[in-house]
Structure 1
Amino acid sequence: MKSRLSLAAAALLAALLSSTQAQTSDAQCKTTAKADIVLLVDGSWSIGRLNFKTIRAFIGRMVGVFEIGPDRVQIGLTQYSGDPKTEWHLNAHATRDSLLEAIVNLPYKGGNTMTGRALNYILQNNFKANVGMRPDSRKIGVLITDGRSQDEIVLSSQRLRDQGIELYAIGVKSASKKELRSIATDPDEIHMYNVRDFAFLLDMVDDLTINLCNSVKGPGGELEAPTDLVTSDLTHHSFSVNWTAPGGPVEKFRVTYMIAAGGPTLQVLVNGTVNTVVLDNLKPLTQYVVNVFAVVGENSSPPLTGTEITSGDLRITNVTHSTMNLNWDAAPGDVLKYIIGYTPEDGDGKQVEVNGEVTTLSLSRLISQTEYDVTITPVYTEGPGTVMAGQAITGVVPAPKNLQFSEVTQTSFRATWEHGAWDVALYRIGWTKNGEQIFQYAILNEDETTHVLEDLEPDTLYDVTVTAIYPDESESEDLIGSQRT
């Protein structure tokens, strides 16, 4: 069944189409470059329904300058508040008219402002090949928000930038400039916008679209990009990269590569008649992002992009507050043994050895809420082989649970609880009259999960706390309850 537009939506769509058609040729983004743009729109309650209409008009004006299609610019949109929701993926709309109609019908979500979760969401769900992202396109994210995030955003935005995604941050009213700067790609004067009210959004849309257009074109403008990126000859420290040159003349090719998780960008320049290069001195078991640019004079083409992982893999799973499971690929050849090293952040490392046929191990008695560097070193008759490396962060120590009271008398009662985890070292139970802050405490052994509170006052409500203390001296959150004598 075809959906019908409301009168208001139809009017807005007509206005957007009219505005798009009336834009001068200078306002259009004239390029044959491919770009995948994901709009991340704050739909929290602080926006308000009336202002959300302004956001729809703003988005319509912003995307109206682009030629939309599977071989040009694709635009997806995710709306977020507490939980992000994909409104449409990159490959959902193949024409500008279809895209504008979707913008007109964009619903208002409502909720809290969880920007960090939303940034992670678009990386994991929207910038994906199976929903339309193309390997040879420029990747751009545009955040529109009116408030301060209620969760962490620095690492979330860095993960996107580490994947080669250019980020714009647009803030309205009470949006934090500091947060916007930490999200936006440098330089801020191109990628960060902040206006005092929603009414001013449309005033800055032309400047934004010019910068977005330049991002779509990239530093190389219309120079044709190489095609058909292929990697081969994979080892633990190198691999070969091959590509097909574009049809026009090329002076040289610039090949850049960086660790996908973040790090410095390295580059190799080769003559324009060459179409292969070996990247070496790489880290083992590490994913790399590779870009190949055609270069003529000062101009560079859009990048031909691909990824490759050097040989081997270490998998860290089932991470708790004090344990983690390791599983790794068997190293080639006749391995005598593996040396497993695990070092806590700002701490001393430990080692354990296993037989060369073993490829799994459980680590225990770890420090909670701590990042561990884990290495697996195969050892051969002639010496150590390629090191496999990984990282994991242990979790929060669990609190005890299910606090119950029994055997209540005028001057005593029994408190009973259950273990939150198997490796508790001690329990601390505290009690005080309701409303008072001076507690009495008792320290119990790890196997004691019950305690009788005595010498209490009759007909009095007592607050009780039970805290688990672990071998690394970490303390759990308090398990809290109340009981009247």
Structure 2
Amino acid sequence: VGPPKNLVTSDVTDSSFAASWTAAPGNVKLYRVRWNSLFSEETGDKTVPGHVTNTVLDGLSPETLYQVSVVAAYDHKDSRPLTGQETTDVSAAGKKLTVSDETERTMKVTWTPAPGKVTHYRLKHTPVGGGKEVALKIPGTTTSTVMKRLQPMTTYNIIVHPIYKSVEGKARQGVGTTLSPFKAPRNLQTSEPTKNSFRVTWDPAPGQVKGYKVTFHPHGNDIDLEELLVGPYDNTVVLEELRAETKYSVAVFGMFDGGESLPLAGEEKTTLMDAPEPPPVDPSGKS
């Protein structure tokens, strides 16, 4: 009478994992597999025929550490238990974090709470284009924080790990982008549509604007993107050589010494054909 050996867990999902072991010696009638959550009162058990040395534990909770024991049952007595541990994966919803309230230098990050006794969360953020990684320690009862002292117009990779007494939990990940310090132009107006042109007008951007970039493309088709650059005192432009009866997406950016503003966006549709010419005026005044 001896215990099974070499407990191996594999194929971990958010609600199950597989367990396998090396057979116990002698004539084993069956194996009893038991598991219990180290985060709650949750328990489960299965019996497996004596010639089988694997099973799947299912119906489990996500992100939960389980203690597993396998006992070989003989005719008159049971072996000592073979034990091990495994943590289920995080659910799809739990993996995501949410970014909101973005400014030039800050953004708020919110995540799904992890189960069990979280001592704290560790948030790390790094600029996508490379740069210094910053780590924050957040109390285990909190599920949001504000990232501060960020660079404007920069996208950050963000990872949050729940930290337990002796182990690191499963990551939550996302990205966030800070706003531009340069203010966009306002009040986009489109007018005078013809078969192959229309006019775009805007109110100037505040600050030391060096000019404006106007981009336009057929709606839903970013590949045919075109752009025009105009001076700082211009606030209107006619877009020409467009396709007839086509909806266009337009964006106007303020251009500054240190970068560009967020876009001011709008759309307009060209006509199927040009408007008819007005009839000539009779100089004699007769109708």
**Under a length normalisation based on structure 1, what TM-score does the superposition of the two structures give?**
0.23
Q: As a proportion of its length, which structure holds more helix?
A: 1
- Report the structure number with the largest CA radius of gyration: 2
Per chain length, whose mean CA-contact separation is higher, i.e. which structure has more relative contact order (CA < 8 Å, sep 6+)?
Answer: 2
Q: As a proportion of its length, which structure holds more strand?
A: 2
